[in-house]
Amino acid sequence: MAVAVFARNQLRHQLRLRAFSSSSASSIPNPSSAIARKRKSRPDLRHIRSETNPSRIVDICRAASLCPSSSRLHRLALSDAISTLAESRSFTEVRSILDSLPPASLPNAIVLFGQAGLHDDAVRAFQKSPSTQTLNALLFACVVGRRHDEVSRIFSDFPGTHGITPDIKTYNNVIKAFSESGTTRSFYSVLDQMCTAGVKPDTTTFCNALAGFYKEKQFDEVDKVLELMKMHDCDHGLCIYNSRIQSLCKLKRSNEAMALFEEMETKGIKPTWVTYNHLIYGFCNEGRLEDAKKLYREMKGLGRIPVDKFYFSLIHFLCKGGEFEVALAVCEDSMAQNWIPNFSTMKMLVKGLIGTSKVEEARDIMEKLKEKFPRNAHMWKEVEEAFPQ
């Protein structure tokens, strides 16, 4: 099971602040109104995730006035909406939503066009207001939309054509595209261009290059990149360690990843839940569930709280390995955060618990899910028949 993920939060923008006059009481924002708006948007997000009717998705987005430049919640909701619409090839609805976004959300719209596989529309949106920010969004849209072939052309032509000066994000997006498309060696020429332009490479620059060389199993090049980091005074800190550990785990080289983990600790660099996530995934992917469970207990003891997908992936692997009691404990941790795995994982867990004579625990989980998702209660009919009479 691949744990992969498009980096939806790459284009994080600061909220625009309004200046309120102290002499006008009517201009002071009402806190209760803000809370009400926030509460209103939360159920809309939940509905978007479960809705499949394209017209209804458009209606929800418009009713909630979802605007990705206004909050992270809105960005996630729109991303879910666009993904669902793209999967059903409802491209007219995708354009309807994204073309109606305010100018401040143009970079987000460009990325979402890329996410939907609408590359020409992403370029069209960029041409409305060419800038360094929208160029970066267009390059990232190519990465998200797997149009790596377009990155070189855009990077070569658009800055000169539109009078745009690339910045660090521009170069990093180009390097990321190369690293994902099996052409990581192009990193060196991009790095030379950066230096010529006076743009200092950062941690992301080297993380992208390392990930690409690891993916291509060019370990000699990994060593060269680590030397280049020293030359450019880039710290071999947490982000670099996490990137290397993740890459090694993807290659099923978890022992080497664990050696880096131990090296981190000797240097006084504290691992985060992200570090544990990569290692636990790596061990699970190699069938080493005992090592994965040990790390999970360690992470939990340190108070590291992961995100929902971490729990979902671990529960899936544990069930696949027949570790249903441990999977139940992890599931309870997840549900305590109100994070519920998908139906197929939960079905596998409940059936596994029944098979290991944990009938009451299985029934309790099933009833909680039926109560939480009454629309899906009928999906449990087959499982209910498996309970002993």
Tell me the pLDDT band of 116, cut-offs 50, 70 and 90.
very high
pLDDT of the residue at 25: 34
Q: Where are the domains of the chain?
A: 36-101, 237-297, 307-389
The pLDDT of residue 236? 92
Contacts for 54 with CB less than 8 Å, ≥ 6 apart? 85, 88, 90, 93
Arithmetic mean of pLDDT over the chain: 87
Distant-in-sequence, close-in-space partners of 178: CB < 8 Å, separation ≥ 6 = 148, 151, 184, 185, 186, 187, 190, 212
Statement: residue 34 has pLDDT above 70 = no
Query: Which pLDDT value is given to residue 115?
Result: 96
Cα 119 to Cα 114: distance, rounded to the nearest angstrom? 5
How far is Cα 258 from Cα 273, in angstroms, rounded to an integer? 15
pLDDT at 11: 33
% of the chain exceeding 70 in pLDDT? 88
Q: Which amino acid is at 147?
A: R
Residue type, 90: S
Q: What crossing angle do the helices spanning 308-320 and 289-301 adopt, rounded to 10°? A: 150
CA distances from 142 to 30, 67, 163 (A): 41, 22, 21
pLDDT at 379 over 60: yes
121-149 pLDDT per residue, tens: 999 999 999 999 999 999 999 999 999 99
